[in-house]
Amino acid sequence: MKILSIQSAVAFGHVGNSAAVFPLQRIGVEVLPVYTVNFSNHTGYGAWRGPMIDPANVSEVIAGIEDRGVFPQIDVVLSGYQGGEGIGDVIIDTVARVKAANPNAIYACDPVMGNAKSGCFVAPAIPILLRERVVPVADIITPNQFELGFLTDTEPDTIESTLASADLARAMGPSTILVTSVERPDREDDTIEMMVVTEAGAWIVQTPRLPLKANGSGDVTAALFTAHFTRTGNAADALARTASSVFDLLTKTLESGERELQLVESQEFYAEPRMQFSARQVR
């Protein structure tokens, strides 16, 4: 499998491509990383150095990959946080060109906008760009529950309302919706869930909620789920594998006392997930 991953990069820590690439490589995926920023660290520290990469330069890198005749071999285009409208245009154009070269290729979009605690933390134009132009050309999207609500102008909280919101998202274009950070009033205490909704059905997985905020964990989740699901077509298995790997990654990070994901130290959890969580069919 080859994945063209268009995301941010940081030298210190693990977000964007700096979070997604290594776990994908560890499960045997060939990754072509294209950077949209080259920062010293993620912006959650409040201070960072390094450039945002001009969309024209990002496009040039992608054109150079195309020049090598690689597009027919690309199985997935993967994107995450989009810092500006220009990057969205580059991604949309790239998806069209990759699919022209390989009609079986898919586009997986993590529509990063914000979360329930912080609200939207991207530029005001980005949610509109995602909803109106990017999500409609995606095959897989991986919003958190808050982002799913924003995309569909709903307020999902129960299993039923989250399913309904996911169906609205599927009607926008994507065939597969992975909803992360699912929180419903009747769930067990100190747990959190993920749900996947496809044409074939819907499944949910529940894990203990760990007391940490881990920047980059969503990037790892989107990457692993996309790879597992693309490989097997089995949404329930992909969900269970991803939940198992990411939970153990977060547990190791919590135990380390470090702020950044213990990405390298957790590599066996990607290659050989413990499968300690099972996905329950809800439709």
Position 42, amino acid:
H
Tens-digit pLDDT profile for residues 219-236:
999 999 999 999 999 999
Q: Which of 224, 276, 277 is nearest to 24 (CA)?
A: 224
How far apart (Å, rounded) are the C-alpha atoms in residues 248 and 210? 11
pTM over 0.95: yes
User: Which residues is 28 bridged to in the sheet?
Assistant: none
How far apart (Å, rounded) are the C-alpha atoms in residues 105 and 103? 6
pLDDT of the residue at 123: 73
Q: For the CA atoms of the chain, what is the radius of gyration?
A: 17
Burial group, residue 122, by CB count within 10 angstroms (0-12, 13-18, 19+): middle
| Residue 233 or residue 82, greater confidence | 233
Query: In the predicted model, what is the mean pLDDT of the chain?
Result: 95
State the DSSP code for 52.
B
Split at pLDDT 50, 70, 90, the class of 114 is confident
pLDDT of the residue at 127: 85
For residues 207 and 191, the answer to whether their CB atoms sit within 8 Å is: yes
Given a cut of 90, is residue 128 above it in pLDDT?
Answer: no
Q: Which of 16, 20, 67 is nearest to 270 (CA)?
A: 20
How far apart (Å, rounded) are the C-alpha atoms in residues 229 and 78? 13
Given a cut of 80, is residue 115 above it in pLDDT?
Answer: no
State the DSSP code for 186.
T
Tens-digit pLDDT profile for residues 145-186:
999 999 999 999 999 999 999 999 999 999 999 999 999 999
Given a cut of 90, is residue 60 above it in pLDDT?
Answer: yes
* Cα–Cα distances in angstroms (integers) from residue 268 to residues 46, 110, 276, in the given order: 32, 24, 14
Q: Cβ neighbours of residue 184 under 8 Å, at least 6 residues apart?
A: 157, 158, 159, 162, 193
How far apart (Å, rounded) are the C-alpha atoms in residues 260 and 214? 7
70 SS3 class: coil
Given a cut of 90, is residue 82 above it in pLDDT?
Answer: no
How far apart (Å, rounded) are the C-alpha atoms in residues 109 and 132? 13
pLDDT of the residue at 16: 96
Given a cut of 80, is residue 265 above it in pLDDT?
Answer: yes
